[in-house]
Amino acid sequence: METKSARVDRTIREWIATGKYPPGSKLPSERKLIEDLDIGRTQLRVVLGRLAVEGVVEVHGRSSYRVPGHGVSVATPTDLERWQIHGERTLYDNRWVKLGLVDVEPPGLERFEHHVVRLHHVAVAAVLDDQDRVLMLWRYRFVIDSFGWELPGGIVDEGEDPAAAAAREVEEETGWRPDDLKHVVTYQPMVGMVDSPHEIYVGHGAKHVGEPTDLEEAGHVAWVPLADIPGLMARGELMGSGTLVALLHVLASRAGGKSPTTAV
C-alpha cells in the first residue's frame, strides 16, 4: 500500500514531468501543498527535502521551492526506474530513533528487506559577524570519543518552524540570539540507510543575551575566524555533516562572490 509521503512524492514528480510546473517555475506555497495534497507540514518538508537532495526541486528562501532550470547545464537523467516499496515493519521505536525493515524491490532484482534508521528533523545555523568570524562550540562527543568544533543546531520540534528551531538552538547553546537566519539548503546526511532531513541556515549578526541554557549541549563558545576553517578541517577538528555543509557553503559563496545566504 502506498504511503502518504510516497503518494505526494510521486505527485510532485508527475507535475514536473508533465510540464504542469515547467523549469524555472515556482511550486505552490507549503500551505497550499498541504491543503491540496492532504499531508502534514513535517511530512511535506521531508518529501520536499528528499526531492531537493535529488535535484528534482530547488530551495529558494525559507520555504519556497522551484523547478530547476536556470544556471545548471547538466540534464536530470530520466532512464532510471524507482525501487518498489512493498511495506515496512518496525524493529525498534522510541522518542529519539526508529529502526525498521523496508521491503524493497530494485528494478530487475529480487525483493529483499533493507534496514532503515529514521531520526529527527534537524536545523543547523552558521552565524557570522562583521569581523568574518563564525559562532561555534568546542565540544566533546562521547559516541566518537572526540573533541571538535561544531555549529549550533538541534532537533526541530513537532510543528515548529525550522528557522525558529535553528534560532532557538543558537541561543540555548551559545547565549547569542541571531539577528536573522536564511535557509540555504536541505539535505540528507546518509541517504543509503538513514532518514534525517537537515536544514542549513546562515545569518549575519547576533546579540549576546546571557549564558547558554542547554547544559547537556554545552561547550566552549567562540567566534572562530573563517580564515581558520580550512585549517581546522585539515586537522579533523570540524565535527558533524551539518557543520561541514554550512561552512563549505559559506566559503564557496564567498569564493564565488555571492552572499552566503544564497541558496545552492
pLDDT range class, residue 241, cuts 50, 70, 90: very high
Angle (CA) 174-183-143 rounded to 5° is 50
Q: In this model, does residue 256 exceed pLDDT 60? A: no
Distances from the Cα of 89 to the Cα of 7, 101, 102, 134, angstroms: 19, 5, 7, 43
What does CATH list as the number for 4-66?
1.10.10.10
* In the chain, ranges of CATH 3.90.79.10 domains: 122-255
Q: What is the mean pLDDT of residues 83-98?
A: 96
Please, what sign has the CA dihedral across residues 251, 257, 262, 264?
negative
Q: Point out the least confidently predicted range of 40-54, 92-106, 127-141.
A: 40-54
Q: What is the mean pLDDT of residues 9-21?
A: 88
Given this model, what pLDDT does residue 50 score? 85
Q: Under CATH, which architecture does the 122-255 domain have? A: Alpha-Beta Complex (3.90)
Q: What is the mean pLDDT of residues 172-193?
A: 93
From the number of C-beta atoms within 10 Å of its C-beta (0-12, 13-18, 19+), residue 27 rates as: buried
Contact 41, 47 (CB under 8 A): no
Quick: pLDDT tens for 135-182: 999 999 999 999 999 999 999 999 999 999 999 999 999 999 999 899
* In the chain, ranges of CATH 1.10.10.10 domains: 4-66
Contact 13, 56 (CB under 8 A): yes
Cα–Cα distance for residue pair 39/45, rounded to 1 Å: 10
Contact 179, 204 (CB under 8 A): yes
